[in-house]
Amino acid sequence: MGMMLVFVLILASFLGFELISKVPAQLHTPLMSGSNAISGITVVGAILSLSGAFVIEGEVMTIILGTLSVFFATINVVGGYMVTDRMLSMFNTGKKGDQS
Amino acid sequence: MNETVINGLYIVSAIFFVFGLKMLGKAEQARKGNLISAIGMLIAIVTALISQSVLEWQWIAVGMIAGSIVGALAARLVAMTAMPEMVALFNGFGGAASLLVGWSEYHRYTVTNTYMEANVLSLLIIILTIVIGGATFTGSIVAWGKLSEKIPSKAIQYPGQQFVNVLIAASLIGAAMLFGPLRESLNVDSYILVIVTIVIACILGITFVIPIGGGDMPVVISLLNSFSGMAACAAGFVISNNVLIVAGALVGSSGIILTNIMCKSMNRKLTNVLFSGFGATKASTGGGFQGEAKPVSVEDAYLMLEAASNVLVVPGYGMAVAQAQHAIQELAAQLEENGAEVNFAVHPVAGRMPGHMNVLLAEANVPYEQLKEMEDVNPTIENVDIVIVIGANDVVNPAARTDETSPIYGMPIIDVDKARTVIVMKRSMNPGFAGIDNPLFFNDNTRMLFGDAKKSTQGLVAEFKG
């Protein structure tokens, strides 16, 4: 199982290098905030830390740590995607005419 | 629920991330790409929720609802000019979440009394997650502070810096050893070790970013972005979850690529950015330039612009500070009405995060076709009648070409000094964000339009209208 995960890591890293190699400069900011939103995937880990096999029911410290990490990761996800969309919508208004 | 179905769903969400990220890199598809990546995230979250018998569902709900409200409000309310610090802050939250996942996993070992039996590698990965997550968290907070000028943005260096760094690295390795491989021979209280590691990791983030000067912030932001991906990746190893590893690795490696692009556009090596404290070492160049800056009034600048048939606007962070992007768009429209060709030249590291100026100009509805990159304008810049430099400084500093002693020597710049005339809008003669003198201001063909960039631009627009 461990080796399998390392394998996944290496392939995904190379994929990441390939995907981003040629990006026009004007997209750097949205790309960064968009990929930042993806790093909020930790929310899955946070949810699992409060679920099933991972949790001891009613244990206060587990709940505090888990809830806080769900909270932080969700800010990262929701905020990241929304702000990226807001930026990208501005890039399009130029073609569709004014609507400030 | 069936494990195969769960893993299948995680794979689907990973595929959405890959395609989303790919499309984010293409102008026409970027918005759709972001949406696709968001759908991937939704699939991953729903899968996580149904994959186990969720015990603390009410707390998950509390965390998600509160986080969504905060995130949505922040995303709606932030001004486009403040985008770099917003991204830094979100980044920090991602790091904090990874740290907490690592901590919570360790905590489970203690309450179930399985710490002593746990596999050494798993323990080391927990420590790694805590270190990357913690350093990303505080590093991003410091970057946020520097970008929003809540703390001084210049490079802060202190005596014994290298020594402190070595000390931090050594103590982190020491803690990891005591926590993992040596836990039986040297029976140190493991909870204290974890807390100490968290504290040191947080200190590491601070000492990592604090010596880096404001001019290098675009590099730091992309690097921290990459770290937050690596933190998520490490958290994925902690809980043996594929989708965290894939998504984290995608962000980690794409962040490295972006960091590299930033370094190239500043002609600096990453190690140099991280360890040399840009802007802290040079007080020598002050007053080294001969000549006198030639100020110009709004009226005179108007007369010059009215006669121009080819105008190039070079924006920098000062434009963002003055919120002058709408005014400059209006000026460009007036100039075009007057029969001039108007273009905007954006340096890759203008502003405080990569692509910052493009976002602001897009916000002001500057047509996409008018936004030119540095390589496109430099070859024909001799034919430009007037260059308007608005709030840019280092990216148009000819010392980067001519003065080998300059800290930015070798950095590619927009060669505005080769244009027929340059109008520089600037608040005062103070050096720019990076603190370097700019000989451009003393050139024969340069005119300084002092004052608030927005007011000056609005003044010019008024002249055109009146």
Measured between CB atoms, which of A16, A46, A77 is closest to B71?
A77
Of the candidates B299, B285, B256, the one whose C-alpha atom is nearest the C-alpha of residue B435 is B285
Please answer yes or no on whether A70 and B59 come within 8 Å at the CB atom.
yes
For residue B238, give how far its alpha carbon lies from the nearest alpha carbon of chain A (Å). Answer: 9
Cβ-based contacts under 8 A for chains A and B: 406
Classify burial at B163, counting beta carbons within 10 Å of its beta carbon; exposed 0-12, middle 13-18, buried 19 or more: exposed
- Please report the pLDDT score of residue A56 as a whole number: 66
Of the candidates B296, B367, B358, B300, the one whose C-alpha atom is nearest the C-alpha of residue B332 is B367
Residues of chain B with pLDDT under 50: 278-288
For residue A50, give how far its alpha carbon lies from the nearest alpha carbon of chain B (Å). Answer: 6
- Please report the pLDDT score of residue A97 as a whole number: 39
Show residues of chain B in contact with A52, CB under 8 Å.
51-55
Q: What are phi and psi of B346, to 5 degrees?
A: -110, 120
Tokens of B306: 């009215």
- Please report the pLDDT score of residue B285 as a whole number: 43
Spatial separation of the C-alpha atoms in residues B401 and B404, rounded to whole Å: 8
Whole-angstrom CA distances from B134 to A78, B193, B314, B341 are: 21, 15, 38, 50
Please answer yes or no on whether A25 and B373 come within 8 Å at the CB atom.
yes
Show residues of chain A in contact with B44, CB under 8 Å.
41, 43-44
Amino acid at B22: K
Spatial separation of the C-alpha atoms in residues B88 and B85, rounded to whole Å: 5
Mutation for B interface: A22, A47, A85, most B CBs within 10 A: A47
For residue B90, give how far its alpha carbon lies from the nearest alpha carbon of chain A (Å). Answer: 5
Amino acid at B274: L
What is the chain A residue with the closest CA to B105? A49
For residue B112, give how far its alpha carbon lies from the nearest alpha carbon of chain A (Å). Answer: 8
What is the chain A residue with the closest CA to B371? A26
Tokens of B11: 């794979």
Q: List CB contacts of B109: < 8 A, sequence separation 6 or more.
A: B115, B118
Contact B238, B122 (CB under 8 A): yes
Classify burial at B4, counting beta carbons within 10 Å of its beta carbon; exposed 0-12, middle 13-18, buried 19 or more: exposed
What is the chain B residue with the closest CA to A22? B25
Show residues of chain B in contact with A13, CB under 8 Å.
249-250, 252-253
What is the chain A residue with the closest CA to B125? A2
Classify burial at B441, counting beta carbons within 10 Å of its beta carbon; exposed 0-12, middle 13-18, buried 19 or more: buried
pLDDT tens figures, B255-275: 888 888 888 877 777 777 776
- Please report the pLDDT score of residue B280 as a whole number: 44
Tokens of B300: 């005179």
Please answer yes or no on whether B76 and A82 come within 8 Å at the CB atom.
yes
Q: Give domain limits for chain A.
A: 31-89
Show residues of chain A in contact with B19, CB under 8 Å.
none
Cα angle B197-B199-B202, degrees, rounded to a multiple of 5: 105
DSSP character string of B162-216: HHHHHHHHHHHHHHHHHHTTTTTTS---HHHHHHHHHHHHHHHHHHHHTTS-GGG
Catalytic residues of B: 394
Mutation for A interface: B24, B228, B366, most A CBs within 10 A: B24
Name the helix (H) or strand (E) containing B371: strand B371-373
Please answer yes or no on whether B362 and A90 come within 8 Å at the CB atom.
yes
Please answer yes or no on whether A41 and B247 come within 8 Å at the CB atom.
yes
ipTM of the complex: 0.89
Q: List CB contacts of B401: < 8 A, sequence separation 6 or more.
A: B413, B415
- Please report the pLDDT score of residue B388 as a whole number: 92
Of the candidates B243, B295, B239, the one whose C-alpha atom is nearest the C-alpha of residue B122 is B239
What is the chain A residue with the closest CA to B70? A75
Show residues of chain A in contact with B359, CB under 8 Å.
29-30, 87, 90
For residue B363, give how far its alpha carbon lies from the nearest alpha carbon of chain A (Å). Answer: 5
Sign of CA dihedral B456, B459, B463, B465: positive
Contact B257, A19 (CB under 8 A): no
Please answer yes or no on whether B221 and A32 come within 8 Å at the CB atom.
yes
Sign of CA dihedral B336, B341, B326, B431: negative
3-class state of residue B372 by DSSP: strand
- Please report the pLDDT score of residue B273 as a whole number: 72
Helix axis angle, A60-96 to B356-363, nearest 10° = 60
- Please report the pLDDT score of residue A80 as a whole number: 94
Please answer yes or no on whether A26 and B17 come within 8 Å at the CB atom.
no
Beta strands B386-390 and B310-315 are parallel
Classify burial at B346, counting beta carbons within 10 Å of its beta carbon; exposed 0-12, middle 13-18, buried 19 or more: buried
Strand partners, B313: B344, B388
- Please report the pLDDT score of residue B9 as a whole number: 93
| B353-364 burial code (b ≥16 CB/10 A, e <16) | bbbbbbbbbbbb
Measured between CB atoms, which of A15, A77, A85 is closest to B41?
A77
